[in-house]
Structures are given as structure tokens and as C-alpha cells.
Structure 1
Amino acid sequence: MLKSGALLPPVSKICSRLAQAGALWYDESKGLCTCVCRRRSYAFFGGLSMKKWLSVILSIVMLSTVLGSGASFAFAATAATSGSCGDNIKYNIDTGTGVLTLTGSGATNNYSNMNVNFGSSIKRCPWYNSRDSIKRVVISEGVTVLGNYLFFEMTSVQTVILPSTVTGVNRYAFAGCTALSTVNLQDTKITKIGLNAFEDDAKFTTLRLPETLTEIGDFAFRKAGINSVTFPKECAKIGISAFAGCKFVTITLPEKITSVGTTAFSDNSFLLDVFVENPNLNYGTLDPFANCQSSLTFHASSGSTTQAYAEKKGYKFVASDSGCDHAETYTVVTQEPTCTAKGKQDVYCSKCLKYLRTEDIAATGHDLQVIQTDDQSEKNGHIFEYLRCAKCNDESTDTIRTTHVRDEDGNYVWKDGCYTDMVLTGPGCTTTGRLIRRCSVEEPTKNSKCTALQYINIPAPGHTVKEWTVVVPATCTTDGQKTGVCTACHQSIAESIPAGHDYQCTEGETDATGHRIDTYVCSVCNDTYTTQVHVEWVDGYYDTRVIAKASCLMTGSSIDTCRYCKTTRTNVVPAYGHDFKFSGCDGTNCTYTCSRCATTRTNTLSNVASYFFDNMGRTADKLLGYYYDVNNDGYVNLRDYVLIQRFQAGIGLTQPEPETPETPKTTG
């Protein structure tokens, strides 16, 4: 209980506390509380005085205290057949005919969707518990405003007769009236229909609105069964999802409608044609006709916002102001875009050449290209690339791209001094640890660090035993055992001592085949064995197999195999080199032929004569000697020069017989 004179906490704090307990939803920015006890939450308490607020909140607090946080706010209600529903309005229910009648003047009370009655300001409509028996609602002349939730979820009501004096329908006034099919809205002076006013009225098919209507609130007719509507000429605004999920086939939006809310006509799967009279209708940032048919056709003036919207969304557009549909257009760029600024282009009809509109051209964005590369992979494991926009070449676009080098397995390359380690789990003697390694390398401008990191396993070091005690000595043929205590984990460790002989070798004498017999004797148990050792290669005791024959230019190879122990060796046979011999002269050119492979070479006598004396005596140089040893005697001397001069003078000579070259010996 509150003591006399006790200060109450602010209303906002009380609402917040109740919201935390799950009893209310409180929007602090709007000062609205919402009950969460039904399938959907609805706003209430709006516009109450502080005195009424405190009365309501104190009632809720006391009930919450008594019932606990999990209590359900459910109270039995008496179904009165008559009473008051406004300062000057009475109601009466004819239980025989199922007709609810409201008489009087002014506005009705605002109600909520709560199922608890705390007072005159917070309760359901008084006929809520009789809603199943009410089929018809008649409101007499004089009533002006239909309050919040006035006929909420009256699922049996089929017809509502409104007076001409009605000027407003508040939020959720007829929401959930699933059997409602007839409401004479066109006979009223309504200027605004509140949010969710006729939501879910599935049998409400034909909508005739009064000429006084200027605004349709958010979700006003969402999921109603409306398939036909005529908007009044003075209507200027259609709210968010106002007609979402309806069943229109065609819609005409008059000229004074300046904007349609987000998803205002979404999910109208039967909609075929939309006629728009305002050339500057604002379609907002989100699609008002989302999830409608792709064959939807918009009819409006050429160059209008409707045409731009239809073309953007892929809908068909038909121009209503001329015979040309402006289906084909071309553009003229009036301002080129830059990397950071939009451009402008004018759009013209390709058929009638009419100017249609001006459009923005998106900024091109920077095209960063590498202008310099600093490879520091060996130093710190990084490659730094300096980039600049290739289009504007603006130094302000300069940036550095840092690449942390990886190895062939995809792991980062880490250089000493270029990282920090943080051990997550230290290793045990037999368990691996875990650390996280972070790169500490800064980019050259020192504006940022490399962000590379890698998790690395720390290998288990194994046990460390400094002093072993031999429990069972090992023998030549059986393992022994030793024990000790690990200095790290203090665990007792037992390990085997491998068995093994201690052999001493005595080498034998090398025999005629190039082999010897070595004898091994164990110094402990005298166990003995012998082995044959290949010492040297002796001619006649191995076989040679040619793998590749040597030639003048190519090396050859062969394999020798010992006949006794099958030991092998590979031999490389060097290339022979050409052995060119003089083979003829036609008075201009000397011809030389290799005695081994018959390859020929030629040289002019003039070249031979001009270089002759510079090369006399180089008979061992076969690469030059074949040019000058023209008489094939193995020397380059004056005899060759005389022969060359005679050839040049045209005096014929008998070609000498070429000598047969000696075949090089293949050695092992």
C-alpha cells in the first residue's frame, strides 16, 4: 500500500516496469502503452490526463501485485443492452432484431482491445460481449466521430448505417468485422479514415468514399475484400499499406493525390490498370505496388513520375496525353558524371522527339589502380601496393593495400619481430597448447596495422627426466626398463631400454673379384655374422649395359652390374665432339665433313685466308682447326696456306683421303 503523501514514480517509469514484466508495451517516444494480452497489440491511453493516467497505472500496479507477473487480466463482464458510449451519446441493443443503435451528438468514447475494465477511459466497447448477436448497426444524425475500437471484432455485423454528420473514423473502429459488407461512407462528411479502421473486413467489396475525404490512414483497408473504389477528387494522401491485399482490377488516382504510401497497393494480385492524373505523384522510396502482376499497366501523361516509376519497375506504360507512347527514347548527356558527383542527361522520345524528363547519371566511382608496389615479403612478410584513381588521378584517393603473404599451404608467413603471441592454453608434457598470433606490422603511412591473425598449436614438449634409474638392464636380445620422474609435471615415467648387440668388425682380405668378407662378433654374447663387401670394380667381373650411346654432341650413359654381389654403378660417356676433315673445294668454298656423323660445314676461301695467320698452330682446337688444316695432316702451317692460295688461284688439287678417326673408349 502507498502511504499518505508518498511520491509516485513518473508514469514513464511505471510503464517501463510493466513493460519489463510483460504486461504492457510502452513507447516512450510517443507516450503510448500497448496491452499484449491478445493476439495483436493495439495502442491505448493516448491523450489521457495525468490524473487519469495515475488512476489507470495504480489500478494495474495493484492488480499486478495481487495476481503476479503471470496473471491473466480476465474479468467477467455483464452484457448491458443499453447505456452511454459518449458524453452525449446513448446506445441500445434490440436483442430480438440484433440491431445496435447509437443516438445523440458529438464524438463517441475511445475504447481499447483490452478484456479488462479499469474505468471509463480504459475498456472495451460496452456491447463487446454481445457482439455475436448484433447483425446491424444504426448511428443516428448528430454523431460526429466514431472512436477507437468502437466496433472492433464485431464479427456478426453485416450492415452499418452512418449519419451524414460523421466527420471522422478513428483507428480500428471497424477492424475485424469479417461479415461487414455494406457501409454508406459516401453519405457522410468524413475527412480522414484512421489507421487500420477497416482492416480484415473480408466481405467489404465495394468502397464508395465521400467527396470530403482528404486522407486515408495507414493500413486503413488492409486485407479487406474491396475490388472497386472511387477516390474523391479532394483526396490528397493514401497511407502505408492502406489497400494492401485487396482485390482491385483497376484504380484511378485523381490529380490531388500527391503521394501514395509504402506498399499502399501491394499484393493486389488481380490489378491490371492504374490511371494516374497527377504528373508529379510521389511514389516514395519503397514500392507502393509490390507483388502485383508483372503485366500491370500504368496510364499517365508522358514525362510524368508515373512513367519513370513504371519504366524503373518494368511495368507497361501508356501515355494518356498524346498518340505517342514514348516507348522508345534516347538521351543527351548535359553534364558528365565524375568519380564522386552525379551527372545529368535529358531524355527524349525517339518517335516524336519530345523532351520527356531529366535524369541523374550515377557517379562513376573511383577506379583504383596500382601505381607502385613495395615488396617487403622477405623483411616482414608483406606486400604494400599504392593505389590511385586511374580516372581522376586525385591524390586524395591514394590508399595502400596491404597483403600479408601466405605460404603454399595457405598459412600466413610470419617473420621474427613482426607479430605478437597470446597463449590461450599452455602445452602440457603430452598435450598441445594453443596460441593466437597477431600481426604487428604497420602500413608505411602508419595509419593502420595489418589485421592478420592465426591460431597456432603449441607442440607438446614431452616429459623431461634428468635422472633415470635402471630397473631391468637390457641384454643383447631382451629389452630392459628404466624409471624416472618428470621435472615438469612430476609424473613417474617408465621407458624401455632397447635390446641390442655390441658388434665389433674384422675386415677380410680383398680377393681377385674385388670383394672381401667382413666378420662381426658381439663383444657381449659372441654372436657372429659375416657380410660380403664390394671393394672395387675388376674388369671381367661385371657386365656393362649401354643405356644411351654417346654421339658427337650428346653424352651417353651405361650401367655396370657386379656378377657376384649385384652392386651397380652408372657411367657417363662424354660427347665425342665433331671430327671434321677436309673433303673438297670448289674454288670458292672449302667443305669439311665429320668423320663420325657425316655432318658437313663450309667456309669461303677469302675468310680462311684472312684469318689464317691468326690461327696457325691451334691444331688442337677442333672448332677452328677444321677451317685451316686443309691437307688433313693434323697441323695448320704454311703447307695449308699454300694450298689455300692455289685454290684461290684456280689451280686444282687432288682431294686427300680422309683419315679414319679413332673411336673413343667407353670407360666405366
Structure 2
Amino acid sequence: MKKKVLAFLLASTMVIEPFTVASAADFSDGMGHEDVQFNDDAEDVPEIENNVNGVDQFSADAVGEGENSSKPPEDAIQMGNDVWVTFDDSTGTATISGKGDMWDYYENGKDFSNTHQNPFIGKSGIKKIVIEDGVTTIGNYLLKGYDNKDSIEEVRIEGNITKIGNYAFDNCYNLAKINFKEGINEIGRYAFENCEKLEIVVLPNTVKTLGKYCFSECHNLKTLTLSNSLKVIPERAFQRCFNIEEVILPENLEDIGEGAFYLCKGIENITFPASIKSMGEISFADCEKLKNVVFKEGATGNLSFQMFRGCNKLENIVVPKSITSIEEQAFLDCKNLATVVVMGNTTKVRYSNFSNPFEQCSNLRTIKGYSCSYIKRYYDSLSKDQKDQITFEAFEGKLHQWSTEKEVIKEPTCTEEGENVYRCEICGATKKAENRK
């Protein structure tokens, strides 16, 4: 029982005040004297358990409830609930560390609470940004207010970032290197706009969402690998990336936004997957080296307004029957386009007295399609001079689109039967229907 009392008193003393090793020894010696008496009627005092759930309760390593698990350096500046940044002026490095999401910043340079200023404001000479493992997102407007964006040359991501925010690295003209690691799901709008020195972008297959203008104006971008998880390439995502040499569109891609690859002068080949459903206006306009365009079986949607405008290397185009329409000026000013093949008779061709899909295609010589088709109707609308330059080659057979309602050609009389026909909605041909009596 004496040992139990001793344990209780020791524990109580440690809680109440600091207890040195020497005083503990003195106290222990005193307890050892024979004249210390205890009442035999006293209740037993329960022993204090030290080891609870494998943690030494009296150890200096035990962390109190509510304490942060990560301890920032003394000179760190907070930019998330548990995210911090330090600046090493000697190496020009900004290191972002901690756990969880960065705060999003706004155009005024403040966070959502309007109390924390973006720590990059007023800094200069940063060459490298390191984002350590544990940080999970890169906030919107990460560098808003940093006036020397052209000093940044490298961004190194060490952990599993899930999102890169809007405008995070826009106008970092000399940013030449960034690694996109598995785990990134989203890259925000304008995130890397005007990163002119960026040459390689490899997006892992975890990337599902791109924001509009995300890599716009990356003039020296040569190698682009897209995520196979992308279903949408948004508006102007890669416009004016003059040096992209090859683009392989994702197998499940459904939508290409307006101007997505506008003025990508280096692209020579493009294959649209069977999953494609929508292709935006001027999406491949002024791709000067584009010479091969392929649509996989099943591709749908419209060849939109000025979609291939100014693609001067394009000589032949085969439009599959699954394409809904060819819009006005779709191939405007494709000076070397010589042959157009339209595989479906129901693919509509939009034209008027003032405009048509093949406007200013000065070398167009052959159009191929069914004799009953919208492309044939377009050909029939051409002037004599145009027909002298362009010939129409008809496929074998006719595929009429008969009306569902009968058309009365002749009303029946008392002496003669009436005459009913079905009329083709494309070419106007008729076939006899059951006569009315």
C-alpha cells in the first residue's frame, strides 16, 4: 500500500509544480524512515497508469490536445491553416510547406477573410518555388502582387497536389520547368498563361479538368501530352502555342472549346476520337502546318465556323457520315485544299449568297459525295465559272431521305384515281405512294 501512496503523491506533485530529480530523491528518503506512520484504516489509493495507448504520459514527446502537428520555421509566413512559406534570398528560393490546402487569394492580394496579405507581395528575385509534400492545393492568384514574375524559372512539386488554382503562375515569362505529378485533378483558368519559356507539359492521367486559357500564349511549348481522363479541352486552352509539334487528343474527349488550338502553327496531324461531340469555332484556325485531319468512326458534331480557317497545308479532307454539318467558312482560306469528300448524304452544308464552307479555297478541284446529298445541293448552287473549276464525283447508289407524309400530286376525280408521292427531303426526287381514291 505504501508504494501506491508514493505513486499517487509523486504524480500529484508533478502536476502541481516542477519536481526536480534531487527533491524526488529527498522525498523518497524521507518515506523510508521507520517513524512514518500510516493509518491502517485508510482506503487504498488507486495506482496511476503511465502508459496509455502506448504513449508515455510523463514523456516530453506527448503532444497536448489541440496542438499543431507541424511547426513552421520562425521566419515562416502563413498562407493556409497549416501551410507556410519561407524565403531564402541567398538562393532565390521560396519553399511552401505544411499540411493541407493553401488559401485562395483574390485580386486585391488578400485571402478570403480579407485579413491575410499574399506573402509574395513586395518580394523580388525569386527563381525557384518548391512545394513540399503535405501541401494539397496551390491557391488562386498565388503570385498576385509579386511584381517580378519574370524572375521565376522553376516550380518543383514534391507531393500530391490535387489542384492548381486560377492565375497561379500566369505571366511567369521565364518559367521553363514544372513537374505535374500524379494526383493533380484540376488546373485552373489562366494558370500558366504567358509562360513563354515553358517547353514541356506532360499532364498525368489524373487530370480531369482544365480551365480556359490555362496554357494560352506559351509560345515555346513544344511537347504536349494530354491526360486521357480529359473530356473537355476548354476555350483558348492552348491558343498561340506556336511551337507545339504534336497533339494526341484523349480517347474519351467530347468537347473542344472555341479557339482551343488557335494559331498552333507547328501542329501537322490531328485525329479526332470517336467520342467527340462538339468542336468549337476557330478551334484549329491558322494552324499553318496542319496537313492531316482524321475523324475516327463515330465522331459527331459540327465542323464549326472557321474551324480550319487558314490551314494552308491541308490538301484533302474526308468528312465521315456521322458529322452533323459543315458550317459557313469552316475551311475559309485553306488555299491548298484540293479535295473534299463527304461520306454521308445527310451531313448538312451551310451556305448563303454571301458565304460558304469553302470560301477562298482557290485550289479546290474535286468534291465527292452522293448524288442525293447536301454536299451535292451545295455544288449545284455554284456558279458556272465555279463549276468549270470544280467537278463533282458521285458515289454509286442513291440514299434518299423520304418524307414521312404523302404529298398529293393529283386529286382523285369521279373517273380517275388521285396520285400521291413521297418526296426526298434532300434532292426533291419523288416516289409513287399508294393512290387515293
User: The TM-score by the shorter chain falls in which range?
Assistant: 0.5 to 0.7
> What corresponds to 1:371 in structure 2?
none
Distance 2:112 2:162 in 1: 27
Q: For 1:103-125, what per-residue CA distance to the aligned partner results, in whole angstroms no more than 9, with x for missing partners? A: 1111101113436x699536652
> What corresponds to 1:145 in structure 2?
137
Q: For 1:445-474, what per-residue CA distance to the aligned partner results, in whole angstroms no more than 9, with x for missing partners? A: xxxxxxxxxxxxxxxxxxxxxxxxxxxxxx
Distance 1:119 1:332 in 2: 56
* Cα gap change, 1:254 to 1:358, in 2 (>3 Å): farther
Distance 1:259 1:313 in 2: 16
Contact kept, 8 Å, 2:253 with 2:275, in 1: the verdict is no
Matched AA of 2:206: T
> What corresponds to 1:212 in structure 2?
206
Contact kept, 8 Å, 1:302 with 1:320, in 2: the verdict is no
Normalising to structure 2: TM-score of the pair?
0.52
Q: For 1:50-84, what per-residue CA distance to the aligned partner results, in whole angstroms no more than 9, with x for missing partners? A: xxxxxxxxxxxxxxxxxxxxxxxxxxxxxx96311
Q: Could you tell me how far 1:192 is from its partner in structure 2?
A: 1.3
Residue 223 in 1 paired to residue 217 in 2? yes
> What corresponds to 2:381 in structure 1?
none
Q: Could you tell me how far 1:218 is from its partner in structure 2?
A: 0.5
Normalising to structure 1: TM-score of the pair?
0.35
1:99-138 matches, cutoff 5 A: 99-114=93-108, 120-121=113-114, 125-130=118-123, 132-138=124-130
Contact kept, 8 Å, 2:104 with 2:111, in 1: the verdict is no
Distance 1:290 1:334 in 2: 22
Distance 1:309 1:281 in 2: 12
Matched AA of 1:134: I
Distance 2:397 2:199 in 1: 42
Distance 1:191 1:101 in 2: 22
Percent identity, aligned pairs only? 23
> What corresponds to 1:244 in structure 2?
239
3-state secondary structure, aligned to 1:155: helix
Matched AA of 2:157: L
Structure with a larger share of its residues in strand: 1
3-state secondary structure, aligned to 2:122: helix
Distance 1:260 1:172 in 2: 21
> What corresponds to 1:274 in structure 2?
270
> What corresponds to 1:298 in structure 2?
293
> What corresponds to 1:179 in structure 2?
174
Unaligned runs of 5+ in 1: 1-79, 336-343, 360-668
> What corresponds to 2:193 in structure 1?
199
Contact kept, 8 Å, 2:266 with 2:289, in 1: the verdict is no
Contact kept, 8 Å, 2:236 with 2:257, in 1: the verdict is yes
Q: For 1:129-172, what per-residue CA distance to the aligned partner results, in whole angstroms no more than 9, with x for missing partners? A: 11x31111111111111111113453211111113310001100
Q: Could you tell me how far 1:201 is from its partner in structure 2?
A: 0.6
* Cα gap change, 1:334 to 1:309, in 2 (>3 Å): closer
Matched AA of 1:159: E
* Cα gap change, 1:147 to 1:331, in 2 (>3 Å): closer
Q: Could you tell me how far 1:280 is from its partner in structure 2?
A: 3.1
Q: For 1:243-276, what per-residue CA distance to the aligned partner results, in whole angstroms no more than 9, with x for missing partners? A: 1111212211122111011111112223222122
Q: Could you tell me how far 1:288 is from its partner in structure 2?
A: 1.1
Distance 2:397 2:131 in 1: 55
Unaligned runs of 5+ in 2: 1-73, 321-338, 349-371, 377-391, 402-437
The CA RMSD over aligned residues, in Å, is 3.9
Distance 1:300 1:330 in 2: 12
> What corresponds to 1:571 in structure 2?
none
Q: For 1:574-604, what per-residue CA distance to the aligned partner results, in whole angstroms no more than 9, with x for missing partners? A: xxxxxxxxxxxxxxxxxxxxxxxxxxxxxxx
3-state secondary structure, aligned to 2:247: strand
3-state secondary structure, aligned to 1:252: coil
Distance 2:272 2:397 in 1: 20
Contact kept, 8 Å, 2:131 with 2:159, in 1: the verdict is no
Could you tell which deviates more after superposition, 143-152 or 166-175? 143-152
Q: For 1:496-544, what per-residue CA distance to the aligned partner results, in whole angstroms no more than 9, with x for missing partners? A: xxxxxxxxxxxxxxxxxxxxxxxxxxxxxxxxxxxxxxxxxxxxxxxxx
Distance 2:230 2:186 in 1: 9
Matched AA of 2:231: A
**Larger CA Rg, structure 1 vs 2:** 1
3-state secondary structure, aligned to 1:256: coil
Distance 1:358 1:192 in 2: 47
1:56-71 matches, cutoff 5 A: none
3-state secondary structure, aligned to 1:197: coil
3-state secondary structure, aligned to 1:92: strand
* Cα gap change, 1:155 to 1:123, in 2 (>3 Å): farther
Contact kept, 8 Å, 1:112 with 1:123, in 2: the verdict is no
Q: For 1:163-191, what per-residue CA distance to the aligned partner results, in whole angstroms no more than 9, with x for missing partners? A: 33100011001111111111101x23111
